[in-house]
Amino acid sequence: MISFLDGLGRLRRGPWELVATVLIALGVVMMMQPFLLAAYTWSFLVTLTGTVMFIVVSHFPEDPRG
């Protein structure tokens, strides 16, 4: 957990890609869930944020320590 936050802080690729992946997955679930119309409405914004973030952070440096 600490190394995860540390990676976020030092703009490392791994943890940020994880955040973007979670956002995209969340957006897709929000888009297709049958419970709440509001969640559907905001799903696109979440997916878009995740996707743009993914493209940006995939250019961050890899953490040499893995």
Partner 1 sequence: MTDKTTDRTPAAARLGREITTPLGRGIKGLSDRAVAWIFIAPTIFLLLAVNIFPLIWTIRLSLTNYRANRTNAEVDWVGLRNYERILTDPDIWNSMQATAHFLVWTLSLQVLIGFSLAYLINKKFKGNDLWTTIIVLPMMLSPAVVGNFWTFLYQPQIGLFNYVVGFLSGVDPSSFSMIGDVALAPWAIVIVDTWMWTPFVMLICLAGLRSIPDSIYEAAECDRASAWRQFWTITLPMALPFLMLAVLFRGIENFKMFDLVVQLTGGGPGSVTELTSINLKREAFEKWRTGYASAYGVILFVTVFGLASIYVKALNKVKER
Residues lying near partner 1 in the complex (CB under 8 A) are found at: 17, 20-21, 24-25, 27-28, 31-34, 37, 40-44, 47-48, 50-51, 54-55, 58
Residue type, 5: L
Query: Least distance in Å: CB of 4 to partner 1?
Result: 17
Comparing CA positions, the residue from 65, 64, 63 lying closest to residue 18 is: 63
Neighbours of 20 (CB within 10 A): 20
Measured from the CB atom, is 11 or 48 closer to partner 1?
48
User: How far is residue 57's CA from residue 24's CA, in Å, rounded to a whole number?
Assistant: 14
Query: Least distance in Å: CB of 65 to partner 1?
Result: 17
